[in-house]
Chain A
Amino acid sequence: MNSSWFVYMAFAAGLLFAGLYCLLTMKNVIKLFIGIEVISKGVSLALLATGFVKKNTLLAQCLVITFIVVEVSLVATALALIINIYRHTKSLDIRKLTKLKG
C-alpha cells in the first residue's frame, strides 16, 4: 500500500460522507438526488484510484464506465419520478410523501 491510495480513499470517503449527510438532513427531493450523485462520484473515484494504484487501470475504467451507464439510467428514471411527484403533490418536499394514497 502506498500513501497516494490513502489520499484518494480519504477524499472518496469525504465525498461519501457529504452525500450521506445530504440524504439524512435535506428535505428537497432534487437536493436528495444531488446527494446520491455526490456519493456516486466518491464511488467512481475510489474505483479508479484503486485501479490506478494497483496498476489495473483498464479494468477499473471498464467498471467506471459500467457504473456511469447505470448512473445515467438511474438519473433519468429518478428525475421522471420527481416530475411525477411534483405533478401529484405540487411540491418537492419529501415530507409530503408520507401518505401512500392514490
Chain B
Amino acid sequence: MTWQIPLLSGLVLFSILAILSKDLIKSAISLALASVLLGILFFQMNAPYAGVFEISVVAGLITVLFILTIALTKAEGDVRESRLARLAFPLFFVAFILIDILVMKGLLQKVPALPETAETGAFGDVLWKQRTFDLVGQLAVILAGVFSVLALFRKRDKDE
C-alpha cells in the first residue's frame, strides 16, 4: 500500500488542479498527468491492459481532443468563474473527506460486491467469452460516436 498512496494523492491533486486552474490548456495538461498516474496505478494493480488503454487513449487521445477544442474556440478568459467557488473548494473538500471516512467504513461492509474468488484463464478468455455482450455494446457506442460527430460537422445544404 505504501507506493499507492503517493500515486493516489497525485491523481487527486492533479484532478483538483485541472478543475481549479484558470488556464484551460493547463487544466487539460493536468488532466492528462492525472490519467498517466491512474494508468501507472492500473499497472501496479496487475491490470496492464487497462493501464495501456488509460495512458494511450485517455492521457493521449482525449488530451489532444481537448487541446484541439480549446485552440478552435480561442475563448480563454471569456468566461469569468466565480472566485468564491474556487476559494471555498478546499473547505468543502476537507469536509466531504471527513464525512466520507466516517461513513464509508460502515457502508463498505454492507454493500454486496463481487465474491472473493480467484479467477482462472487469460484476459482474452474473459473479454471474448464472458463479456461478449459488452463488445457488441462497445461497437454500438463507437458507431454512435462516429455518426454523431459526422452529423454535427456536416456542411449545410444550400436549400436549408
7 contacts between A and B (CB under 8 A): A10-B101, A15-B15, A30-B70, A35-B19, A48-B45, A68-B57, A75-B62
Contact of A49 among B28, B45, B82 (CB under 8 A): B45
| CA distance in complex: A49, B142 (Å) | 26
Q: How many residues of B contact A (CB 8 A)?
A: 81
Contact A14 B46 (CB under 8 A): no
Chain B 93-123 against A: per-residue CB contact (8 Å), 1 yes, 0 no? 1001100110011001100011111110111
Residue of A nearest to B8 (CB): A11
Residues of A within 8 A of B72 (CB): 83, 86
Q: A18-B16, A58-B123 are known contacts. Are A79 and B108 too (CB-CB below 8 A)?
A: no
Residue of A nearest to B38 (CB): A41
- Which chain B residues in 60-87 approach chain A with CB under 8 Å? 61-62, 65-66, 68-70, 72-73, 75, 78-82, 85
Residue of A nearest to B138 (CB): A69
Contact B79 A59 (CB under 8 A): no
Q: A13-B100, A21-B89, A80-B152 are known contacts. Are A69 and B47 too (CB-CB below 8 A)?
A: no
Chain A 65-92 against B: per-residue CB contact (8 Å), 1 yes, 0 no? 1101111111111011111101000011
Residues of B within 8 A of A91 (CB): 75, 78-79
Contact of A73 among B68, B93, B144 (CB under 8 A): B144
Q: A73-B141, A80-B148 are known contacts. Are A56 and B97 too (CB-CB below 8 A)?
A: no
Residue of B nearest to A37 (CB): B31
Contact of B73 among A30, A37, A49, A76 (CB under 8 A): A30
Residue of A nearest to B100 (CB): A13
